[in-house]
Structure 1
Amino acid sequence: MPNQADATPIDGLRALPTAIGFMAMCVGMFMAILDVQVVATALPTIQSALTIAPSAMSWLQTAYLIAEVVAIPLTGLLTRALSMRWLFVGAVSLFTLASIGCAASAGFASLVAWRIVQGFAGGTLIPSVFAAVFVLFPVRQQALATTLAGVLAVLAPTVGPVVGGWITQTYSWHWLFLINVLPGVAAAVCASLMLPRGSANLTSLARLDAGALALLAVALASLEIGLKQAPQSGWGSLTVLGLLAASVASLAALVRRTLAGPSPLIDFAILRDRSFAIGCLLSFVLGIGLFGTIYLMPVFLALVRGEDPLEIGKIMLVTGVAQLLTAPVAIALERRIDGRILTVFGFLVFGLGLSMSTGQDGATDYDEMFWPQVVRGSAIMFCLLPPTRLALGHIPLARVPDASGLFNLMRNLGGAVGLALIDSVIYGRVEPIARGIRQSLLAGDAAVAVRIGIPLTRFLNRGTAPLDAETQAAVAHLVERAALIGAINEAWMLIALLTLIALVAVPFAGAPARPDLPAPGEVWPSTG
């Protein structure tokens, strides 16, 4: 059980300090999410500076993400042990220290080690913020607080390429990590002074089930590594199948051990709540869409259009601006309309925005990407705010930290699965599409030649005769580029379909609760 002081909606006298403390928590969460994106833009620069093998570079991201997903579901346990205030202060302080360690690293091993520490600390920040929405604020303020957290959670990866590209071009890669220091220190100090006090209960750590913790680490790490390897090695490879089997077996053992134990590491029993389970499913699918969008746009702009990271970031800002402009509308409607209706609306519009990107061609750039981004950005808060209320709004306050950890974990896992599926589509479909294009060109199909950008004068001068070897070699790069565009479009279609299919589950959820009063048998004492 969390400390009672951490399960107390704020009163009028504490409203402003607690709001300031919550904003400090949001800053910490923003830093943790932004860090992944800004580092991604500078991987080649870091590789060159530290003479790291190209095949090992992806571990700078993978190490962070694995540590993050292991930490997310532990948020409930750590909140009970340290209190919400001191968990956040400790996590953001550790994240800041690890950022300094990353900047000071002189080699691959030390950088990966500090990235693991960074990921673990950052992993607790996101669910802590969303748990704080329902623990710290009365119902009339929860929509606004959720929107603030949601905007920053989605805005961070949107502006990440701009920030990372600008820092890399203007300064050195070390500043990708050092930018966390001042905000981290400020967030820690502010949260320690402004958030409601709560006494620590360190005895709960003494009862920590080490076996369950090991199973959790194996399950999530195996899943992440297996999903990362699947596109390159193939889903049927022994390595991938072994990793996924280890993940499933470890997770099954963890659930069995957790449900049977008196002090569960993770409250899996809460998944028996139908609305919470459906909310987690929606969070998983939203993760596929959000992570997939943030991945597919830079891939297209870099590999097809040849844009640099800074220009890519500028183009992608449209999504963030649209999200910010529609956030007040989402807040107002969430207070007046059934959350299930808003969820259906949000996922329908988001799916439409995804499908609008399925017809990209070699000329697609800012103008062609503008309206799909506007549609997707306008839908994001409707995909985040009502499902969050649906999943967490009716949960007893004592269980909110555990529930928030699982809810946010599902979004990250959705992102991991989505990226693996997208890479599988791109890796698996480029060659078949290219083969089809080559066959059409050899058969003299002028329409295909026009579509991929072959000069008509060169093609039509041959009449219906097939292309010779010299011409085939000359247009090979156009064929490969067209095949990549086709594969990316198929990936857009995949995540659009998954987003729309998720709507089937919404009618089975109960009406979102309005937790104006304590849950049965629960008392809200005054804040200490």
Structure 2
Amino acid sequence: MKALSFLRRGPTSPLEPLHGAALIPIAMAISIANFMQTLDLTIANVAVPTISGDLGVSPDMGTWMLTCFATPLAITLPLTGWLAQRFGQVRLFCVSLALFILTSALCGVAPNFETLLLFRALQGAVSGPLTALSQALLIAVFPAARRNVALAVWQTTTFVAPVLGPIAGGWITDNISWPWIFYINVPTGIAVLLILTRGLAGRDNPTRRLPVDAVGLVLLALTFGSLQLIFDRGQTLDWFSATPIRVLAVICAISFIALVMWELTDEHPIVDLRLFADRNFLAGTVAVTVGFGAYYGALVLVPLWLQTEQGYTATWAGIATAPLGIAGILIAPVIGRIQHRVDPRWFATAALVGWGAASFWRTGFNTEVTIDEIGWNSLLMGAATALFVTPLVSLSIAALPRERLPAASGLQNALRRIGTSTATALAPTYFERRSRVHSTYLIERITPFNRSFSEWFDTLRHAGMSTDGALASIARAVDVQAHMLALNDFSAGCTVLFAATLAVVWATRYRRAERG
């Protein structure tokens, strides 16, 4: 029961920076909690077919398990600031973690698909504050001069978890059983909870009783919920050609406009949009949203291309792109230690130049590209990633007053998630539709009067193929080439987006942190 003492209301001392060895377990515990929550965004993806089969639903219905997690998460992320003011950062974080452990266990024991959807929705809802507050708490407990180290630790867990999620989920599903993708949160979460409740006992930010902005809450749920559903179901329903997607888009647009108007005039808004009046927060958030969106688009598209067009298995696609996570693990802590000596905009510039260079490199890929070249390209992307978030968070959030950190972190993380959701949904759609354009162009060149085609066809026939077999082989080759050109086009677009994000980064002002 001692571990649940954070639930008791009583006098607390301010949440001041920690020093010495006390920092280590607290920083590790907060980072692991963030890692667990971020891992759950992707760990269940590869298990959808297995879970669907075991619980007697179609794989298409099985994807609702992902939607039911992501939609409540997108809604509760921006609520974090209001909840932290009302209940306290430490108390809210610990309660969210305890509920995350409980809902994870419930997901594992769910007897049917409907129950699993309910528990996944609850898991997503309670995990929203974990990401936002993990960032805010690390900034709060680290001395000002060492906050870059804190953010580097946070960044590492945020980047590595989505990369490891599908790998861990696939291995657990194949070698143990799918409920363990949820059960693994339980022992780890309990250990983290014990460390936090002991190490931060009696420490929290001042709280105040705030009225519930019920109108803002409803508008927020409508905006983020409909937007997430558009992203999750758009590809399956062929986007705006489907009536449900058009209806959701209208709901999203109207509720978003109403949300902005209401929150800017309400005395106690549930989402503090006035944060955007700060130039650094506005520019930093735009840069994080756009930059991460383009980065995640490539993160989704390259493994998809490798598996569907280049003949890679899921394992080998993971090996080819694994340097993304490895580079981040190695470089991020180093950057955190030296960043206070350098204008962080230069680190963000190096990241965007690295991302742009890797994207430009991919514009020259062809169907004969080797796994070594893909690995080196992934390494460059991963190395650049390690330089991106920490400097931008330092510029946009760390200089704000402590009491505004949870709200700022929650809002920025919510918008970053929207950016990644947008890219994750739109990148495959662009990939397929652009490939059709290239396929049409290539097919127009294949005629009996084209000497290259005639020689190609004759070679296949002389190799023993039937006429239909030779034509099918040529059609497949055309399809592979069309998708290759589509990936080249996507990479060129990412290069342009990274260049535009670079201009936004330099719209921020550099404020050197005081030592303390």
Task: Say whether the fold is shared (TM-score over 0.5).
Answer: yes
| Equivalent in the alignment of 2:444 | 439
2:361 is equivalent to residue 356 of structure 1:
yes
Q: 1:170 aligns with which of 169, 172, 175?
A: 175
Q: 1:132 aligns with which of 133, 137, 151?
A: 137
Q: Is contact 1:159-1:313 (8 Å) kept?
A: no
Q: Distance in 2 between matches of 1:448 and 1:84?
A: 67
Q: Distance in 2 between matches of 1:481 and 1:263?
A: 55
| Equivalent in the alignment of 1:212 | 216
Following superposition, the deviation at residue 61 of structure 1 comes to: 1.0
Q: Is contact 1:41-1:309 (8 Å) kept?
A: no
- 1:278-298 Cα distance to aligned partner (Å, 9 max, x none): 010011023213422331132
| Equivalent in the alignment of 1:222 | 226
Q: Is contact 2:89-2:205 (8 Å) kept?
A: no
Q: Distance in 2 between matches of 1:155 and 1:183?
A: 17
The residue matched to 1:393 in structure 2 has which SS?
coil
2:299 is equivalent to residue 294 of structure 1:
yes
Following superposition, the deviation at residue 234 of structure 1 comes to: 3.3
Letter in 1 for 2:191: A
| Equivalent in the alignment of 1:491 | 490
| Equivalent in the alignment of 2:324 | 319
| Equivalent in the alignment of 1:184 | 189
- 1:496-520 Cα distance to aligned partner (Å, 9 max, x none): 3212211121222111342558xxx
Letter in 2 for 1:507: W
- 1:103-160 Cα distance to aligned partner (Å, 9 max, x none): 1122221111111111112221111111113222112211111001101100111122
Following superposition, the deviation at residue 18 of structure 1 comes to: 4.2
| Equivalent in the alignment of 1:241 | 246
Q: Distance in 2 between matches of 1:471 and 1:168?
A: 40
User: Greater shift after overlay, 145-154 or 473-482?
Assistant: 473-482
- 1:437-463 Cα distance to aligned partner (Å, 9 max, x none): 22223366577899xxx78822899xx
Following superposition, the deviation at residue 470 of structure 1 comes to: 5.8
| Equivalent in the alignment of 2:415 | 410
Q: Is contact 1:270-1:403 (8 Å) kept?
A: yes
TM-score normalised by the chain length of structure 2 = 0.90
- 1:314-333 Cα distance to aligned partner (Å, 9 max, x none): 33321111122222442244
| Equivalent in the alignment of 1:386 | 391
2:460 is equivalent to residue 458 of structure 1:
yes
| Equivalent in the alignment of 2:261 | 256
Letter in 2 for 1:9: E
TM-score normalised by the chain length of structure 1 = 0.88
Closer, same or farther: CA 479–341 of 1 in aligned 2, 3 Å:
same
Following superposition, the deviation at residue 373 of structure 1 comes to: 1.0
The residue matched to 2:350 in structure 1 has which SS?
helix
2:499 is equivalent to residue 500 of structure 1:
yes
Closer, same or farther: CA 491–108 of 1 in aligned 2, 3 Å:
farther
- 1:412-442 Cα distance to aligned partner (Å, 9 max, x none): 0110111232122123223222222222233
Letter in 2 for 1:421: L
Following superposition, the deviation at residue 73 of structure 1 comes to: 0.5
User: Greater shift after overlay, 299-308 or 397-406?
Assistant: 299-308
Q: 1:30 aligns with which of 28, 31, 35?
A: 35
2:110 is equivalent to residue 111 of structure 1:
no
Closer, same or farther: CA 483–445 of 1 in aligned 2, 3 Å:
same
Closer, same or farther: CA 163–415 of 1 in aligned 2, 3 Å:
same
Q: Is contact 2:14-2:203 (8 Å) kept?
A: no
The residue matched to 1:298 in structure 2 has which SS?
helix
Q: Distance in 2 between matches of 1:185 and 1:482?
A: 51
Q: Distance in 2 between matches of 1:200 and 1:100?
A: 30
Q: How does 1:16-27 map to 2 (within 5 A)?
A: 16-27=21-32
Closer, same or farther: CA 371–35 of 1 in aligned 2, 3 Å:
same
2:17 is equivalent to residue 10 of structure 1:
yes
Letter in 1 for 2:459: T
Q: Distance in 2 between matches of 1:20 and 1:126?
A: 18
Structure 1: segments with no counterpart, 5+ residues: 462-466, 518-528
Q: Distance in 2 between matches of 1:179 and 1:326?
A: 28
Q: Is contact 1:434-1:480 (8 Å) kept?
A: yes
Letter in 2 for 1:225: L
Q: Is contact 1:222-1:247 (8 Å) kept?
A: yes
User: Greater shift after overlay, 433-442 or 396-405?
Assistant: 433-442
Closer, same or farther: CA 158–412 of 1 in aligned 2, 3 Å:
same
RMSD: 2.7
2:150 is equivalent to residue 151 of structure 1:
no
Q: Distance in 2 between matches of 1:468 and 1:121?
A: 60
Q: Is contact 2:448-2:454 (8 Å) kept?
A: no
2:377 is equivalent to residue 372 of structure 1:
yes
Following superposition, the deviation at residue 484 of structure 1 comes to: 2.8
Alignment coverage as a number of residue pairs: 504
- 1:1-45 Cα distance to aligned partner (Å, 9 max, x none): xx9968643253xx4334412321111110111112221111111
Following superposition, the deviation at residue 478 of structure 1 comes to: 2.8
Q: Distance in 2 between matches of 1:256 and 1:375?
A: 43
The residue matched to 2:221 in structure 1 has which SS?
helix
| Equivalent in the alignment of 1:271 | 276
Q: Percent identity?
A: 25
Following superposition, the deviation at residue 379 of structure 1 comes to: 0.8
Closer, same or farther: CA 448–198 of 1 in aligned 2, 3 Å:
farther
- 1:465-496 Cα distance to aligned partner (Å, 9 max, x none): xx976632343333333333333333333333
Closer, same or farther: CA 222–11 of 1 in aligned 2, 3 Å:
closer
Q: Distance in 2 between matches of 1:325 and 1:192?
A: 30
Q: Distance in 2 between matches of 1:229 and 1:447?
A: 42
- 1:181-200 Cα distance to aligned partner (Å, 9 max, x none): 11111111111111253468
Letter in 2 for 1:70: I
2:401 is equivalent to residue 396 of structure 1:
yes
User: Greater shift after overlay, 85-94 or 306-315?
Assistant: 306-315
Q: Distance in 2 between matches of 1:203 and 1:145?
A: 27
Letter in 1 for 2:224: L
Q: Distance in 1 between matches of 2:170 and 2:454?
A: 36
2:110 is equivalent to residue 79 of structure 1:
no
The residue matched to 2:510 in structure 1 has which SS?
coil
Q: Distance in 1 between matches of 2:15 and 2:205?
A: 16
Closer, same or farther: CA 202–136 of 1 in aligned 2, 3 Å:
closer
| Equivalent in the alignment of 2:6 | none
| Equivalent in the alignment of 2:5 | none
Closer, same or farther: CA 403–52 of 1 in aligned 2, 3 Å:
same
Q: How does 1:32-111 map to 2 (within 5 A)?
A: 32-111=37-116
Q: Is contact 1:93-1:184 (8 Å) kept?
A: yes
Q: Distance in 1 between matches of 2:195 and 2:451?
A: 66
